[in-house]
Amino acid sequence: MKKQKIIFLDRDETLNHDPGYLRDASLVQLKDTVPEGLSLMREFGFRFVVLTNQSGVGRGIISPQELSEVNARISKILEENSIHLEKFYICPHTEKDNCNCRKPATGLLEQAMQEFNADPEHSYLVGDRMRDILPGAGMGIEGVLVPGRETVQEEPAPNLVFTAENMLDAAGYILQREFEKKAAEKIFYAEQKDAIRSRMQELKAKNKKIVFTNGVFDILHPGHVQYLYQASRLGDHLVLGLNSDESVKRLKGPERPVNTALDRALVLSRYKFIKTIIIFSDDTPVETLQTVQPAVHVKGGDYIAEKLPEYITVTENGGRVIILPFRKGYSTTSVIERMRRRQ
Ligand SMILES: [Zn+2]
């Protein structure tokens, strides 16, 4: 079975308002934006599981019957919004019982992770207290806090990644993290030589022709996109060396880059024809080229191949250098000047 993307939800003050030991199903009221937030996550393939401490049961304040009626009521309201809660995992114990399931203990989460074959990398904990987030700390599951009636200043859990305003805001953040994680599969730093080498060797073993090019790609314009697209057509796998922020400052002055290397990489990562991005800090791509050893190195502009500092590195490793002309009339500098004139 494919690993599942699960949102592990706390119940009281996360899904529903909590008057304290909620035992009357007719009093169930969802919190603001819960249907909207869960709907959005559902659209992106997440499933929902509830992990809830219910010490009222252990104290004899809430009967098991009342508990299941309240849970059924919450489920029903959400079903009316086309949202399905897969299962409620419940700890009925009190603190004194010293069980392994009362959050922040990990028992409920471990059981749910296993039963739903959850992918820790793409699952999240959402709750109004740190104890809702903490169970995921040792398993590398990220947590998002939503405010609740009792939310107090607590020591942040190590796996807390965001404090949201409400469930919809939490959903927005989780989608953002998923976008970043997808991008991160393509993004490397030049220092990660072993990881880059093994990725390149895997491709070469499959007879993939690796094409390399490098640049700043600060404010994207048609010249950039035409250049990168055409570079990618010169082989099977385009590796883009992206100048780090410090190296851009050295090369182009203190006002550049406008966008950080990570932001530039995020934008570029969504172009399908860009397969790997390597952020490098040297003034020349020589060392990165030594790691990648491409079949083709593409340089944009009106250079003479033999005069490039990287020419020898490329050719010594059996590669060719191809100079691609830039599209006429476009440059980041001219875009910035145009913006300044319009201010
Ligand atoms: Zn328990």
167 CA from centroid of ligand 1 (Å):
26
pLDDT of residue 342: 86
Average pLDDT over residues 277-284: 96
149 CA from centroid of ligand 1 (Å):
23
Domain contains 72: yes
**pLDDT per residue over 105-134, tens digit each?**
999 999 999 999 999 999 999 999 999 999
In 185-259, where does DSSP find H-type helix?
Answer: 193-205, 222-232, 245-252
55 CA from centroid of ligand 1 (Å):
8
Are 137 and 42 found together in one domain?
Answer: yes
Are 126 and 177 found together in one domain?
Answer: yes
288 CA from centroid of ligand 1 (Å):
53
pTM: 0.90
Are 191 and 168 found together in one domain?
Answer: no
Please count the other Cβ atoms lying within 10 Å of the Cβ belonging to residue 153. Answer: 6
142 CA from centroid of ligand 1 (Å):
22
pLDDT of residue 151: 65
Please count the other Cβ atoms lying within 10 Å of the Cβ belonging to residue 83. Answer: 17
| All residues with CB under 5 Å from ion ligand 1 | 91, 93, 99, 101-102
Are 170 and 300 found together in one domain?
Answer: no
β partners of residue 126: 9, 144
Average pLDDT over residues 297-313: 93
Are 316 and 271 found together in one domain?
Answer: yes
Return the C-alpha torsion angle 286, 290, 291, 297, nearest 10: 70
Domain contains 168: yes
Work out how many domains the chain is built from and give that number: 2
* Strand boundaries in 94-170, DSSP class E: 124-127, 142-145, 160-163
Q: Which of 155, 184, 213 is the last residue of a domain?
A: 184
**Which secondary-structure segment (H or E) carries 241?**
strand 237-243
174 CA from centroid of ligand 1 (Å):
28
CA angle 160, 163, 169 (to 5 degrees): 125
| Cα gap 81→35, rounded to integer Å | 6
